[in-house]
Amino acid sequence: MSQKQVLNICSCCDVATPLKISGKRFQEICGVELKYTIGLPSEIIPKIETGLCDVFTCGAAYIMDELQKNNLIDRETRSILGYRRSVILTQKGNPKKIRSLHDLTKKDIKIAISTVDSLKGVWDEIASKTALTQEIQKNITLFADGCGELLGSIVRKKVDVAFGWNTYKALHPKTFDAIEIPREAQVYRSTLIAATAFCKNKDTAKKFIQFLKSKEGIKTYKKYGWLTK
């Protein structure tokens, strides 16, 4: 009896949900075992460097660029799974009645931003487009290490709002409200996937990536707010 093939999948936290849902279907169809490691890039990249990861997915091109620069991924397999749109996240019910970016400049507003992963630098890209960088920066009271801490700060009411992605609202509809940012100030970032340079089952990894890009796979990403072609 042939041994079941195994793919070790490393995923950044905030793009893991549709990946795992689609992965379950892939396992049923192809009989491949998928093993997941979910975490921040700083936690995952060492696994790639030591050959313990076959496929990597993340929520910003700059992360994948660094891996490609250092020859840690197979550039031929690098693919886009969809895009996310920036929003202002608030506590459920929006108790501070945030309606616009200008509301983030009020004295009693506490703001959280992420300094790592897919949201790194996003708040400044948004604020700079509306010349509100200085005013908004004064109200930033929490610098989160990733989406987990960012979202938790809203839930625990440490802050009133956070700069996040539209998918966070779609993934947690009963927990957060999302205020739309004017189109001219929005930031979009891609969700990417690639086989690593050390992938032990390259053909299977390619099949998995192609499945995620298929009509069935993309449908899952769209369900949770990803923008796709």
For residues 57 and 193, the answer to whether their CB atoms sit within 8 Å is yes
Q: Does residue 35 fall inside a structural domain?
A: yes
Q: Are residues 78 and 88 in the same domain?
A: no
pLDDT tens for residues 131-172? 999 999 999 999 999 999 999 999 999 999 999 999 999 999
CB–CB of 185/101 below 8 Å? yes
The count of structural domains within the chain is 2
Same domain, yes or no: 30 and 96: no
Structure confidence by residue, pLDDT tens digits, 93-122: 999 999 999 999 999 999 999 999 999 999
Residue range 179-217, pLDDT digits in tens: 999 999 999 999 999 999 999 999 999 999 999 999 999
pTM to 2 decimals?
0.94
* Residue 14 located in a structural domain: yes
Q: How far apart are CA 66 and CA 86, in angstroms?
A: 23
Compute φ and ψ for 142, nearest 5 degrees. Answer: -140, 125
- Any domain includes 228: no
Domain of residue 11, residue span: 6-82+190-223
Quick check: is 1 in a domain? no
Residue 155 belongs to some domain of the structure: yes
Assess contact for 215 and 24: CB atoms under 8 A: no
- The CATH number that applies at residue 196 is 3.40.190.10
- Say if residue 92 is in the same domain as residue 130: yes
